[in-house]
A and B are shown apart, each in its own frame.
Chain A
């Protein structure tokens, strides 16, 4: 009887264990359900992939068409200006030469620039000669030529402050337009680039300027060489501040 119960117990235990063994084990229904779901998902992905491939292909075609159009318009523009590989290369070299020279000139001090005054005019002539060519109408050259012109123009004021005797002069402009006062004149890049040197201009023009706060439009001022204030200029500055502190 005991053995019967024992056997029965073991059989039931085996039954329970076999049915419960491993939670991962799926039933046929679960398998079917997962198969259906998986197949559905896979099919949807296949369709999506096919659609994406088609869209990518059409985008690539569109981009290739745009590239072709851009290239065609650029070629037309160059042809219009009579551009060839050879003449564009030569033009580019010539333009770069003038640009380099003007850049070098713009780095010089006023005195050094005055010594090489002729190069500014030579650069202007070369620039004008390049600007007359049909290639200059092309945007990439047109923009560079304009930039070059403004650089050359930037060098001219330095030459303008030198009179026929080789002395530096400056003609006072109006306050409304040029904001010219001794402080602002000394501050100009082509004068001293240092506003604190204004007493130099004052002292060099004592006959014209009795009151440094008052200079007049059209006055031609002597511009002494740049450098530290001399003792005479320092004294004049000291006296000027003393007078102003009393006011």
Chain B
């Protein structure tokens, strides 16, 4: 009888310890994984957007130079037309 009690206590203690040392629930692990997946996806999107932004930023000075050239051409045309008259 004494032995049975002893083993029961020991078994109970073991189960208690096992349950205490157990990690998060399956649902919680899924939740964490979902956040990780979302983060990875967002990182990819951010990288793409950064590329787009850089590309557009490079286009701005090119367009500005084109506009400056067009204005210069307009002035030159005006001068030439005045000379023709």
A15 contacts which chain B residues (CB < 8 A)?
14, 17-18
B59 contacts which chain A residues (CB < 8 A)?
63
Q: Is the pair B67, A49 in contact by a Cβ cutoff of 8 Å? A: no
B21 contacts which chain A residues (CB < 8 A)?
18-19, 27
Q: How far is the CA of A136 from the CA of B80 in the complex (A)?
A: 9
Q: Is the pair B24, A31 in contact by a Cβ cutoff of 8 Å? A: yes
A49 contacts which chain B residues (CB < 8 A)?
42, 45-46, 49
Q: How far is the CA of A123 from the CA of B80 in the complex (A)?
A: 22
Q: Is the pair A26, B23 in contact by a Cβ cutoff of 8 Å? A: yes
B17 contacts which chain A residues (CB < 8 A)?
15, 19
A52 contacts which chain B residues (CB < 8 A)?
46, 49-50, 53
Q: How far is the CA of A199 from the CA of B78 in the complex (A)?
A: 55
Number of interface residues of B (CB under 8 A): 45
| Interface of chain B: mostly helix, strand, loop or mixed | helix
A27 in complex: contacting residue of B7, B11, B23, CB < 8 Å: B23
Number of interface residues of A (CB under 8 A): 49
Q: Is the pair B80, A25 in contact by a Cβ cutoff of 8 Å? A: no
A56 contacts which chain B residues (CB < 8 A)?
49, 52-53, 56
With A26-B24, A35-B35, A52-B50 known, 20 other A-B pairs at CB within 8 A are A4-B6, A7-B7, A11-B14, A15-B14, A19-B17, A28-B23, A35-B31, A38-B39, A42-B35, A42-B38, A42-B42, A55-B53, A56-B53, A59-B56, A73-B70, A73-B74, A81-B77, A132-B84, A139-B77, A142-B80
Report which A residues bind B (CB closer than 8 A).
4, 7-8, 11, 14-15, 18-19, 25-28, 30-31, 34-35, 38-39, 41-42, 45-46, 48-49, 52-53, 55-56, 59-60, 62-63, 66-67, 69-70, 73-74, 76-77, 80-81, 132, 134, 136-139, 142
